[in-house]
Structure 1
Amino acid sequence: MSDSQHHNEEEQAKIRTSRALAALTIAANAQISVEDACASVVDESGDEGLDAIGITLARGEIYVVQAKASSGSPSPTEVLKFNQGIRYLLDWDWDSLGGKTQKRRGEIEAASEDDVKVIAIFSHFGAQKTDEAATKLSDKLLSEVNSSGNILDFQYQGLRENHDNRNIASGLGLPDYDLVFERWITMNDYRSEIMGVVTGDQLARMVDSFNERLFDKNIRAVLKATDTNKILDATLERSPQDFWYYNNGITIVSNSISCARTSPRTADETFKLQGLSVVNGAQTCGALGRALRENAPLEDVRVTVRVMSKEGHSEDFTKKVTRYTNTQNQVTNREFVSLDPYQQELSESLLSEQIQYSFRTGQTLDYDEHAFAFDLEEATRALACLTGVDNATRAKREIGRMWSDITANPYRELFPRNLHPATMYNAVQFRRVFDERYMASSRWMDTRSGGIIKNSTYMACALFMQKARNEKLDFSDIDLDVESWVSSKGADIYGLAAIVVELHENENPGGFPMSFFKNRQKIEEFARKVRTRFQETGS
């Protein structure tokens, strides 16, 4: 409340109530702790109707709240302002939003990079039905934003819903949960620790019930989309019965472990975990939660679960367990690339030209010792663009899957056995210079157009590489002056950017550019239209 000290007591009371309502709405709907919900409040002068923003990576959701503490229902003017604030947020137009929201820019952008859903809630104390003119405005926003996918949800929560929210939020501490172990063992006493096998559907429902509250604060960051949890998703979808073999399981620390029986059974026994926190295995929990939301059958999924009680341990026991169970190196898809001997051949060939290509994790790029340096990730993105729009879109959406199987496509399409080392080197150069010139074209555009440019770089680069090949640019020539060629095409690059923005606003008016340019089906057709228009201009 420090930013409202210049208001009189009556105004401060109104602001306090409004902010409390915003935090209450976030806590109850996002299922996050009261402390985190209060920290999510961004209400201030010039906030464009955004009073709180709550992020829950476990569910892949961003909650945006406008809170009105008076007893009337939302007016069309208030909804219109909220709509505009939501648009600013979706377009990452930070300059148009309040300072408190701007300070959370990095957090919000990082969460938005994944496939998240934005849930907008207009929370108020009105008991009457929402004004029809107001709902028409929110329905129009939904129609426009969701034109390229189910990105936005819009809700009105009045007096009745907020009574329910109050009851939900009052119990948002560390959760209690009953887990049924099919088999279990203990090192000493079940009240101290348990290790056993639990069905995936139980854990999925636990994640769905408690959301972010389930996870220790020290590991919430790993709930972001990674190569690892994309593999988990694929296993759950294609071979759920094999999940136990491939997965390391989860570790839980709870305040206490109890059982209704004095002597628990060795099979199919229920243990009550009070005040539990998942300290390792958030990726596994996230994958199970996503599978549940997609109605995937989880009855055949088995997960190894370790539970430890804090009773009898020091105050920092949870922190130590969290730290030490999350500091082991994980093997990701990228590590498997080092098993491909052709990668070593590419690296050695380029090294003879004073070009460093690093394909192993942990190798440091040395720009002082080499004329040029790049790594596997940059090479993959560049070659994805060189091989076409489809692979470029795939690399933008999920680069880890480009390395998932080094014996099959898309990996072999990017790194065929006849790939010339110079082709990879020149593709990387091309993409670096093109991206710089293409992004520079947005300097003379508005914020939304700039967002379209930023999200279309992969597709645009793929189209421009195709243009270069059509003009007989030989990527396999180690002496090719890529930078000069791309730089000489400044007018063409700007023209391409203008076409992309214009056609995007025809195809996806008011929609979310980030999701649009990750949609392979939509981008295939869109790229064809852009290519046709680009050729018609004579570029």
Structure 2
Amino acid sequence: MGYVRKAIEDRFTGLIDMSDQARLSEASRHQAFLSRGLAALAAQIEHPCSDRVAATRVFDGQDDQGLDSIAVDFGTTRSRICLVQAKWSDQNKGGFGEAEVHKMFHGLELMLDRNFGRFNRRFQPFVPDIERAYDSGTPKITLVLALMREAPLSDGVRELIRMKQEEQNQVVRDMVEVKVLDLRDFHRAILGDAAAPKIDAKVQLECFGQESTPYKAMYGTMTVPDLADLYEEHRRGLFARNIRDSLDESDVNSKIRETLREEPEHFWYFSNGITMLCESIQSIGRALPGKVGNFQLSGVSVVNGAQTVSAIYRAFTEDTGAAQDGRVLVRLISLEDCPPGFGDQVTTTTNTQNPIEERDFKSLDPGQVRLRDDFAMLLKRSYVIKRGETVPDPAHGCSITEAAEALAAVSPNARLAAVAKRDDNLAGLWEDHNYQETFGPEPNVFKVWRSVELLREVRAQLQLLREGLVWRADAAAFYGDLLVTHIVYRRLDTRAIEDPECDWATELAKVPDLVRESLSWVLDAIDNEYGTSSHIIAAVRNTERIERVVRAALRKLDSEEKAPELNQDYQVATAEARGRKVNAVTTLVAAGEIEEGTVLEFRPYSKPERREMAEWLAVDPRRAQATWSNAAGRYPLQWHADDEWYSPSGLARKMRCEASGVNSSAQGTIRWFVPGQGSLDELALAVRLREGNEPTEE
């Protein structure tokens, strides 16, 4: 405890923003600082960075929505978002109950629904990075529980976390994982290699073999009980050299445990095995290759297979009888005569090898080979079917992946569009039955290419629309690209789509209007079928929901009923207009709704604003703050950046102009927030409704 506290104080004092805690007692303020420091340290463990950067990742406080810090990484294959909730305790009893679980997942859901305005000003600088992570594909999201405690979470809390995680991963496979960092993890992270215990252990390998050139290694089979005992004795110390620790709650772990419980005799065949590095390996007694060998290991660490080891332990403790017959392949690599850095190379390489995917087998399908030839001969374009090949410029061709997405979208079976949206690598579409339904027995090159052109055009139109959309409409336009494409396709004349002479350009010209109508009806259908608080992402990735939404939207389109106007909360323009209908300043001052001297926060409202202003606001935190005065008439905001007085709209316009050069009107009452209460627009509307008055034009 002392080590961790001192490290937080030494590393983060003066770096973490504590300005919102100024009214607390010194003792309470220090407790809040330690909790925020723990959040910074947790984000730093997951995403290494300097102390200064880690401190800026903390947004704990009012309107943190149950989350305390964030880190966003853009990987070559998949972006990753880390969200931390931290609980400090001087008694090493950091509490984390069911209420905290609900808050944490509620914050995640707000973020997934792009309802960024619900988060405080310290969160806002990360929104452009979050959007970039979304736009590059479904990110991996790690929820980190940073707890100053050693005791495990209660069974009830663990079960609730599992259920919540399962709900998210039903919508998008393997999107959310949960990790617990406790006192031991922070202690080890702070001390670095010095905190990693040197573990000596005896192991037994069945049917063992060995390598002696160029370096010494042993390999063979260990039983599940032996591995469970090894983990029981040394716990996470076994993973000191691993790139990442074992995940307490993950989809992979659950599958490993399920295999051990239901098919223990097959576990050796299904598992990739475990790799351990050792400072030295010594035989105990006479060891003959091919027989049972006993070995004394010095300085052992699991560098690949941490999840397998921890899952084996949990499965064995949960159902000893079923799991005891499990066996797993183990490699022991001795570093005795290895060059410096070799162990790190082993660790990195064994954790980054590219697995063979189902789509790799589909590249051998004769139908795909014919498509590639037809693209070249009939279209004079390229069709890439193997991973690793250079994908052509969009005008000159496409890949098998893009073709699969497009064909899934235009399939008569809307379910395929949902299957395609579940995984960025389209794992579900490559399953044989889905693949056959998507491409058909003899895919037609003209239909494939025209479907790709349609999907591209729909996405381009949705991207244009998103500039003026917020919250659920923005989420629907982003996540619903395949859903909207499906509906648009069914409204086009596609009878001759396989004919080389088809006038496809005429059909594509109808797309912009159809996209606008389809998006309106899709959102209307989602709201009516599942409610305005339902997850957009679930409607487009759940096979049952997407079929219901398609049916409802097509009924409205077929009726030729005028497309509904989007909810005013979903559009920047209508939200601006609504804001002007309520004389918010006069209403709030007359009601005394906001306490004199309250510090307000500015939160960019639209996607263009976030893109243009995020960096400018981050340079000087004072730019996003203003003090409220009930005695200042039409100019109640004293901007912290220059101490001058402004109206909310005048200040919002000035700020955007300074940030980006854009000099346009901006309704300030939907952008300035009273932390923990809402925007000026929301507060004024609440006052009017409470007093029984209808909103009027300013």
1:304 maps to a residue whose letter is L
The equivalent of 1:477 in structure 2 is 499
Which stretches in structure 2 are left out of the alignment for 5+ residues?
1-11, 150-159, 190-194, 564-698
2:427 maps to a residue whose letter is G
Alignment equivalent of 2:345, drawn from 308, 312, 320: 320
The equivalent of 1:252 in structure 2 is 276
TM-score, with length taken from structure 2: 0.55
Equivalent position SS for 2:541: coil
The equivalent of 1:397 in structure 2 is 422
2:58 maps to a residue whose letter is D
How many angstroms does 1:419 deviate by?
A: 2.3
Report 1 or 2 for greater relative contact order, CA contacts < 8 Å, sequence distance ≥ 6: 1
Encode CA deviations 1:23-82: one digit per residue, 9 max, x unaligned: 57789xxxx67978988662248884232248999xx996531557899999xxx99998
Indicate whether 1:362 and 2:388 are aligned.
yes
How many angstroms does 1:4 deviate by?
A: 4.8
Instruction: Judge conservation of contact 2:220–2:331 (CA < 8 Å) in 1.
Output: yes
**CA 1:511 to 1:202, structure 2 compared with 1: closer, same or farther past 3 Å?**
farther
Within-5 A mapping of 1:202-213: 210=236
**CA 1:492 to 1:67, structure 2 compared with 1: closer, same or farther past 3 Å?**
same
Within-5 A mapping of 1:18-167: 18-22=35-39, 42-44=57-59, 48-49=63-64, 50-53=67-70, 63-65=83-85, 86-93=108-115, 96=119, 98=123, 101-102=126-127, 105=130, 109=134, 113=138, 118=143, 165-166=182-183
Indicate whether 1:449 and 2:473 are aligned.
yes
**CA 1:312 to 1:4, structure 2 compared with 1: closer, same or farther past 3 Å?**
same
Distance 1:217 1:293 in 2: 26
The equivalent of 2:460 in structure 1 is 436
2:382 maps to a residue whose letter is Q
Indicate whether 1:502 and 2:524 are aligned.
yes
**CA 1:428 to 1:103, structure 2 compared with 1: closer, same or farther past 3 Å?**
closer
The equivalent of 1:427 in structure 2 is 451
The equivalent of 2:555 in structure 1 is 532
Distance 1:203 1:61 in 2: 32
1:354 maps to a residue whose letter is K
Distance 1:314 1:459 in 2: 55
Instruction: Judge conservation of contact 2:409–2:482 (CA < 8 Å) in 1.
Output: yes
Distance 1:477 1:447 in 2: 41
Within-5 A mapping of 1:187-266: 187=211, 193-199=217-223, 210=236, 216-217=242-243, 241-242=265-266, 244-245=268-269, 248-255=272-279
**CA 1:270 to 1:313, structure 2 compared with 1: closer, same or farther past 3 Å?**
closer
Encode CA deviations 1:437-466: one digit per residue, 9 max, x unaligned: 134333322134312321122222222222
How many angstroms does 1:467 deviate by?
A: 2.6
Q: Which has the larger radius of gyration?
A: 2
The equivalent of 1:333 in structure 2 is 358
Alignment equivalent of 2:367, drawn from 317, 336, 342: 342
**CA 1:253 to 1:484, structure 2 compared with 1: closer, same or farther past 3 Å?**
farther
Encode CA deviations 1:239-267: one digit per residue, 9 max, x unaligned: 765554466534222455579x6667953
The equivalent of 1:308 in structure 2 is 333
TM-score, with length taken from structure 1: 0.68
1:360 maps to a residue whose letter is K
Equivalent position SS for 2:427: helix
Distance 2:202 2:230 in 1: 9
Instruction: Judge conservation of contact 2:171–2:422 (CA < 8 Å) in 1.
Output: no
Distance 2:36 2:237 in 1: 23
Q: Alpha carbon RMSD of aligned pairs, Å?
A: 5.8
Distance 2:202 2:538 in 1: 38
Encode CA deviations 1:158-208: one digit per residue, 9 max, x unaligned: xxxx9x94366435655758766444333469x963211235687799999
Equivalent position SS for 1:363: coil
The equivalent of 1:129 in structure 2 is none
Instruction: Judge conservation of contact 2:376–2:382 (CA < 8 Å) in 1.
Output: yes
Identity rate, percent: 20
**CA 1:146 to 1:394, structure 2 compared with 1: closer, same or farther past 3 Å?**
closer
Alignment equivalent of 1:267, drawn from 279, 292, 295: 292
Encode CA deviations 1:343-393: one digit per residue, 9 max, x unaligned: 2222212212212212123332444xx963001100111111122211111
1:433 maps to a residue whose letter is E
The equivalent of 2:484 in structure 1 is 460
Distance 1:234 1:107 in 2: 35
Distance 2:445 2:255 in 1: 30
Instruction: Judge conservation of contact 1:233–1:287 (CA < 8 Å) in 2.
Output: yes
How many angstroms does 1:89 deviate by?
A: 2.7
Distance 2:47 2:345 in 1: 24
Instruction: Judge conservation of contact 1:23–1:34 (CA < 8 Å) in 2.
Output: no
How many angstroms does 1:323 deviate by?
A: 5.0
**CA 1:445 to 1:521, structure 2 compared with 1: closer, same or farther past 3 Å?**
same
Equivalent position SS for 1:216: coil
Distance 2:127 2:317 in 1: 31
**CA 1:443 to 1:106, structure 2 compared with 1: closer, same or farther past 3 Å?**
closer
The equivalent of 1:413 in structure 2 is 437
Instruction: Judge conservation of contact 1:357–1:373 (CA < 8 Å) in 2.
Output: yes
How many angstroms does 1:428 deviate by?
A: 0.9
Within-5 A mapping of 1:508-523: 509-523=532-546
Encode CA deviations 1:213-257: one digit per residue, 9 max, x unaligned: 56733999xx9999xx99999998997655544665342224555
Aligned residues: 493
Encode CA deviations 1:256-306: one digit per residue, 9 max, x unaligned: 5579x6667953858667451424x67977998999999997656543221
Distance 1:40 1:358 in 2: 42
Instruction: Judge conservation of contact 1:34–1:169 (CA < 8 Å) in 2.
Output: no
1:361 maps to a residue whose letter is R
Distance 1:344 1:497 in 2: 36
Distance 1:291 1:345 in 2: 47
Which stretches in structure 1 are left out of the alignment for 5+ residues?
126-138, 156-161
**CA 1:234 to 1:459, structure 2 compared with 1: closer, same or farther past 3 Å?**
farther
Indicate whether 1:385 and 2:409 are aligned.
yes
Distance 1:55 1:291 in 2: 33
Distance 1:505 1:94 in 2: 20
Equivalent position SS for 2:467: helix
**CA 1:225 to 1:165, structure 2 compared with 1: closer, same or farther past 3 Å?**
closer
Instruction: Judge conservation of contact 1:247–1:303 (CA < 8 Å) in 2.
Output: yes
**CA 1:234 to 1:51, structure 2 compared with 1: closer, same or farther past 3 Å?**
closer
How many angstroms does 1:403 deviate by?
A: 2.7
Equivalent position SS for 2:221: strand
